[in-house]
Chains A and B, each alone.
Chain A
Amino acid sequence: MTEVKERINPPLDAPDAAEEQYRWNRRYPELGTGPITTDRFLSEEHFERERKLVFGKSWLNIGSVHDFSGNGSFFVRDIAVLDVSLLVVQDEQGTVRAFHNVCSHRGNKLVWEKSGPCPYLFACRFHGWGYKQDGALASVPDEGEFHFGSDDKNPGKDGLGMVPVRTEVWKGFIFVNLDASGTDSLAEHLGPLGESLKDFPFDALELRHRYDVSDEANWKVILDAQNEIYHLPMLAPLHRFLGGGAFATNEDGYTRLLDFERLGLHTVFTSDSDIEWVDTPMRTAVAKAHPDGGLTTLPIRGPFVFHVLFPNMVLGFLGDFMFTYNVWPESVDKSVWEIRMHFPRPDTLADRVIHDLMKVRFRDLLCEDVTGHAALQVGLKSRARDVFVVGDQEVQIRSFHQNLDEYMERGNRG
């Protein structure tokens, strides 16, 4: 396993390569250069197809083992787009399972608390049916009055446990798949992306902050807006400040991707920082007083790395921390943007200063973004244009929508 402080920095591309026009289109000509339709962000019909063919069939990240308070604990995950409530349990041995959070008796939502230590039994509030951590039905009040296993139409008590959902854990991230008939494994779904991060020391990072932000935009508007850095020098004050060199720019001041790769259904792009970049007095003062300039360097490909895990997760790295996004659609034009920030365990309290400073900056950056998302949705909704254009420095967006279309096509063919 690669150690946290061991940085892997590939040689930077020569500046002339970075300035090659249409560089990403040359690498991925199959993505074409055409526009993207507006309708896909607005149409109820398109949203229904996504619900059925994407969210209903794909592996979905619903959090990580950090969301448990330890072995023998649970959390409830409601997924609005699929109209399901899941009970996610980490048992005493550390095994993670997810179940439909539904009592087998009359269909009541079983657990109403958001999270906590597992009770002796998960007991339904309606009539007190109780379930074990492995989902088995253990206790039925007045059991003798039921007809368990009396004939073919009445399942026995052992057939009335909570209904399990396909669940797999990768590097501590918990994924579920609501397609009970599906056969693809999580490893197959992650494909080359999983392979590219197989040695990353996720264990060295702790969940420190989580923001659940209501966002008045289609889920893909949010993903697309985050999935490029072309906007950095323009959008808002902190974006403009960081676009001045924290993210590498060419001599005209426009950001240039250090690299972009398609990894099966997923993508990754990276950005370098400009060498002459001068940070704020606050950040400079903290870095100066700290060994190694205050950076706990993670083994990542550049100062900024942004993976999109199809369909709705982002796994990113910025300097010395890791962030994840889960963009959960609630309706065609409303979503919850779930943001988590993970940091290495602090060696000293000075590390906590560095981490909090990064958190505050990143949070304010996203606070600028969220206003942009809502404005995008308003603009698209006017249907002033049927399509919009994207540039070569936004190749990530083109790739995402092509993957989405192809995924839905395959799902339609069954």
Chain B
Amino acid sequence: MAEKTAQITTEPAVALPERFTGLVRFSDWIVSTEAGRIERRLTVEMAACREFYDAMMVELDDIITYLRTRPGADPSPQDQALLNLVFSLHEVAQAVEIYDQGAVVDGADVRLFTSVLERGPVGGTNG
């Protein structure tokens, strides 16, 4: 549905590590924030979510094996892009494996749960 996907902010394209350039067709799923990844999970059609999930699950072993060779801090932009792609897979896996839809069934709007650490300065917010 065009009016739903229009809510998604497209990020500037970031290259993936060379050996994973085959995944460039999923570059819309390279999203740098939790809020953005949740938004895609909630608004992209389930058929497209399943296609992404199925393709990524095939690649996952290679991806993890590669990421195991990369130090845990200060990833390159390409490695960060790959991480962000996998983080989107985590969101979509919940939709495919648990809920059969993007939204949490019998739960609240998952948009309530975006880390406040992504939103700038944080204090004690109650009150």
Which residues of B14-73 have CB atoms within 8 Å of chain A's CB atoms?
A: 34, 57, 60-61, 63-65, 67-73
Residues of A within 8 A of B (CB): 62-63, 67, 75-80, 85-86, 113-116, 207-214, 235-238, 241, 280-282, 285-286, 288-291, 328, 330, 336, 338, 345-353, 356-357, 360-361, 363-364, 366-371
Q: Which of the listed residues A75, A214, A237, A349 has the most CB atoms from chain B within 10 Å of its own CB?
A: A349
Which residues of B88-119 have CB atoms within 8 Å of chain A's CB atoms?
A: 89-91, 93-94, 97-99, 104-110, 112-117
Known: A289-B65, A330-B127, A360-B91. A348 touches B98 (CB 8 A): no
Find out whether the CB atom of B107 lies under 8 angstroms from the CB atom of A350.
Answer: no
Contact of A238 among B60, B67, B73, B98 (CB under 8 A): B98
> What residues of B have a CB within 8 angstroms of the CB of A328 in the complex?
126-127
Cα A233 to Cα B94 in complex, Å, equals 18
Q: Separation in Å of the B42 CB from the closest CB of chain A?
A: 12
Q: Separation in Å of the A65 CB from the closest CB of chain B?
A: 14
Cα A366 to Cα B109 in complex, Å, equals 11
Find out whether the CB atom of A209 lies under 8 angstroms from the CB atom of B115.
Answer: yes
Find out whether the CB atom of A289 lies under 8 angstroms from the CB atom of B64.
Answer: yes
Cα A16 to Cα B57 in complex, Å, equals 41
> What residues of B have a CB within 8 angstroms of the CB of A352 in the complex?
67, 72, 83
Q: Which of the listed residues B60, B70, B98 has the most CB atoms from chain A within 10 Å of its own CB?
A: B98
Q: Separation in Å of the B56 CB from the closest CB of chain A?
A: 9
Cα A275 to Cα B118 in complex, Å, equals 37
Interface size on B, residues (CB 8 A): 47
Cα A350 to Cα B82 in complex, Å, equals 11
Find out whether the CB atom of A349 lies under 8 angstroms from the CB atom of B71.
Answer: yes
> What residues of B have a CB within 8 angstroms of the CB of A235 in the complex?
106
Find out whether the CB atom of B115 lies under 8 angstroms from the CB atom of A364.
Answer: no
B75 on interface, CB distance cutoff 8 Å: yes
Find out whether the CB atom of A282 lies under 8 angstroms from the CB atom of B104.
Answer: no
B12 on interface, CB distance cutoff 8 Å: no
Q: Separation in Å of the B75 CB from the closest CB of chain A?
A: 6
> What residues of A have a CB within 8 angstroms of the CB of B69 in the complex?
348
Contact of A213 among B83, B98, B112 (CB under 8 A): B112
Find out whether the CB atom of B123 lies under 8 angstroms from the CB atom of A78.
Answer: yes
Find out whether the CB atom of A282 lies under 8 angstroms from the CB atom of B89.
Answer: yes
Find out whether the CB atom of A348 lies under 8 angstroms from the CB atom of B61.
Answer: no
> What residues of A have a CB within 8 angstroms of the CB of B114 in the complex?
211
Known: A350-B64, A364-B104. A75 touches B124 (CB 8 A): yes
Find out whether the CB atom of A368 lies under 8 angstroms from the CB atom of B124.
Answer: no
Find out whether the CB atom of A282 lies under 8 angstroms from the CB atom of B112.
Answer: no
User: Of all chain A residues, which has the CB nearest B61?
Assistant: A289
Find out whether the CB atom of A237 lies under 8 angstroms from the CB atom of B68.
Answer: no
> What residues of B have a CB within 8 angstroms of the CB of A77 in the complex?
123-124
Find out whether the CB atom of B110 lies under 8 angstroms from the CB atom of A367.
Answer: yes
> What residues of B have a CB within 8 angstroms of the CB of A115 in the complex?
121-123
Find out whether the CB atom of A211 lies under 8 angstroms from the CB atom of B93.
Answer: no
